Every structure is written in structure tokens, then in C-alpha cells.
């Protein structure tokens, strides 16, 4: 039978390993703020689609795993997400 001290030691070790893993996995770099329109990259790069009339499609494409970005008022596009679940972009609308 496993004693209480052994269980406590195993639980403590697991907790320490979890905390170390979380500390190491933190993103590096500066925090930035972006202001602009959130767009799905597939539709924007293929046909320039964006704006209020394209919002529903953009949401569907993002849910499908397509990468999204922020388009600012100067026309600068910043990629926010890279899909890791799909190997190819999907046309969603």
C-alpha cells in the first residue's frame, strides 16, 4: 500500500513540473496593441473581401481554421493566427 507521504511527494512533484512547464511555455516578446478590422486572410488575399458585408463569411472562415489578421486604416495587414489544424486554406463562403 502506498503511504500518505509517497502520495504527497508524487503530487508535489507533479505540481512543480506543471508550473515549470507553464513558465517555460510563456510567449516571448513585447506586447503590442493593434487597431483595425479583423479579417480572414483567405478571402482578403484572394479577392480583397472585407468590411461589414463580409463579416459573416469571415467568422465562418476563422472557425474553419483559416488564419486571421488585422487590417489597419493605413492598409497594413498583420497576421494574428496560423492554422495548425489544416494544411490548406479553405474557401468558406
Mean pLDDT, contiguous 10-residue spans, the chain (93 residues): 60 58 64 87 89 87 85 90 55 65
Instruction: Quote the pTM value.
Output: 0.56
| pLDDT of 41 | 87
| pLDDT of 83 | 47
- Give how far Cα 28 sits from Cα of 17, 46, 74, Å: 20, 32, 27
Say which residue the cell 487590417 belongs to: 71
What are φ and ψ of residue 75, in 5° steps? Answer: 90, 10
| pLDDT of 86 | 52
According to DSSP, residue 93 is labeled -
| pLDDT of 76 | 92
Amino acid at each position: 500500500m502506498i503511504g500518505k507521504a509517497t502520495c504527497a511527494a508524487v503530487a508535489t512533484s507533479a505540481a512543480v513540473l506543471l508550473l515549470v512547464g507553464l513558465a517555460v511555455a510563456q510567449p516571448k516578446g513585447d506586447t503590442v496593441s493593434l487597431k483595425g478590422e479583423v479579417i480572414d486572410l483567405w478571402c482578403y488575399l484572394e479577392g480583397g473581401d472585407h468590411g461589414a458585408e463580409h463579416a459573416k463569411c469571415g467568422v465562418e472562415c476563422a472557425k474553419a481554421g483559416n488564419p486571421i489578421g488585422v487590417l489597419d486604416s493605413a492598409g497594413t495587414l498583420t497576421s494574428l493566427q496560423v492554422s495548425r489544424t489544416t494544411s490548406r486554406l479553405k474557401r468558406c463562403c
